[in-house]
Amino acid sequence: MTPSLHDLSFDIGTLSRGYESGNFTPQDVIAEVYRRIGAAGERPVWITLTPREVALAKVVAAAKGPLHGIPFAVKDNIDVAGLPTTCACPEFAYTPERSATVVERLEAAGAIVIGKTNLDQFATGLVGTRSPYGIPASVFNAEYVSGGSSSGSAVAVAGGIVSFALGTDTAGSGRVPAGFNNIVGLKPTKGWISTRGVVPACRTQDVVSIFGLTVADAAQVMSVAGAYDAEDAYARRAKPFSVSGFDAGLRVGVPASGLDFFGDADAEALYHASVEGLRGLGALVVDVDVAPFREAAQLLYSGPWVAERYAAIREFVSAQPDALDETVGGIIIRAKGLSTVDAFAGFYRLAELTRAAEAQWQTMDVMLLPTTGTTYKIADVLANPIQLNSNLGAYTNFVNLMDLSALAVPAGFRPNGLPFGVTLIGRAFDDGRLAALGDALHRTLTDLKLGGTSKALAETTPAVPARAVGRIAVAVVGAHLSGQPLNSQLQERNARLLRTTRTAPGYRFYALAATTPAKPGLVYDGSGPGNIEVEIWEMDAAAFGSFVALIPSPLGIGTLKLEDGSEVKGFVCEAHAIAGAQDITHFGSWRAWLGRDT
């Protein structure tokens, strides 16, 4: 083992590049994983580990897929063949012969299971304190909760022990721990990742979630994990997951009122900073009424869905009621008092609230909320387990009930060193756009580290939108930019904005004479400084053909080289047209030149 591996970042991009270059091997990395687990001591992150020798043997046999040699952890309510599934209840434990579908898919892509992680018992809680296997803590302060119920999974990622981890999310269990540990939590649309082989909490509301150090990592895992499974009665058919673009002017809803930070002024300031970060990305911030969402959140534990938790383990509870954690048992067993009438009353009220929320979705494309309003010390949660847990679910509990997608991303640190996170929420199957927006928002924090590690976010690969098959990307520089007079020609062709970037060196930029509306000309002469802002739009081939037909001479479509070295079709200008044109290269963008006198 070379000493340099001790400081190696386990983000997927770093490991994959290292394997390709031959700087280290998957066996080196897996051995380093177990060294780190040993160095972490008695932190109660794990319930069961894959034996080191078994993991190393799996590396040799692993598929050379997109996750080849990538170590990951699995929440211990998700089956891994040959390892006990305990749900943090020793008396409940069983050893499955077959892994959950999601684990099978990840292993088929070459990923290596390191072990099963701690959780709030039977995935009931958002705090991480309800386990007989110990209490994981925030990687930033051992006095504070890690968040739950996917506590061990989040800490394993934030602590740099594994590259990613699976959690589950019914009420926020894949988001709250992400917020408390400075990592990403991707809660996909219900039914996109199979839940076959997952011990249910609320079967109609459960999803498998993904913790990663970056949005790009979580998205790469999602692209493997998300697939229709005929063995899962709640599976839904969807296109393969990919990061998509987001339009300039995307409407982001923020609460006009009703946000409660429970006295945490530092969290409130960081939330408002995230709102401003979205404005800086070109988003249009709109006020929305969160009352129907907040009321729906209360239904998850006060309504009939508590009965699902009882139904999931009814026979076990009847046989061994004393095996349950006191707080978990109090929540689950009280469901026996709910009636069928109570169930229908809850279903009706949720339908009414979802319809009321629909009016808010007409005014926004995405909603931004705090992942949690605050955080708590472990001692305080143990003293007041129900109310403080409820506070942590104020902005998470409604998401699955209303069939929404969500992505939790880091949003900075309080002065006391504890992280804060925000969550982007979209409609069902809006996950790809959330990934693009969440990655961009995450990267506005330029000095941020990954989880609790020393690796800088800025050193990692962004989540780049995937190009759709049969579609053509084109770079625009002037009157076709978002908000400019000819942008409608793109909108009419159902083009979508993928990203904003800049040209490579070698280009000069001119304001052409006598054009209406005013247009620029981009010319490659090999000596220009380049660095000219462009937007990359994508459309299908038929739309591209009709678009090109609208372009007047001396403009045309050629091949542009971008700052990252890639090439794309884009607007260029015939060299003769720069006679009499004004060189505006130093402005760096058409918008900057247009605003020169303001």
Which positions are catalytic?
75, 149, 173
Find all residues with CB under 8 Å of 441, minimum gap 6, and list them.
Answer: 274, 277, 278, 281, 409, 411, 422, 424
Packing angle between helix 326-333 and helix 305-312, nearest 10 degrees? Answer: 110
Whether the CB-CB separation of 138 and 145 falls below 8 Å is answered with yes
> What is the edge-to-edge ordering of all strands in the sheet holding 496-502?
496-502, 533-540, 471-476, 567-573, 555-561
Residue 223: which of 241, 238, 243 has the closest Cα?
A: 241
Q: How many CB atoms lie within 10 A of CB 545?
A: 12
Tell me, what DSSP letter sits at residue 42?
T
Q: How far is it, in rounded angstroms, from Cα 451 to Cα 158? A: 4
Find all residues with CB under 8 Å of 438, minimum gap 6, and list them.
Answer: 184, 215, 407, 409, 424, 463
Q: What angle do CA 167, 194, 431 make, to 5 degrees?
A: 70
Q: Two tokens at 158?
A: 């934030």
User: 3-state SS of the chain: helix, strand, coil percent to 5?
Assistant: 35, 25, 40
Q: Two tokens at 207?
A: 């999803």
Q: How far is it, in rounded angstroms, from Cα 213 to Cα 178? A: 9
Whether the CB-CB separation of 534 and 500 falls below 8 Å is answered with yes
Whether the CB-CB separation of 131 and 121 falls below 8 Å is answered with yes
Q: What angle do CA 37, 40, 44 make, to 5 degrees?
A: 90
Q: Two tokens at 434?
A: 């959330």
Q: How far is it, in rounded angstroms, from Cα 223 to Cα 450? A: 21
Tell me, what DSSP letter sits at residue 562?
B
Tell me, what DSSP letter sits at residue 98?
S
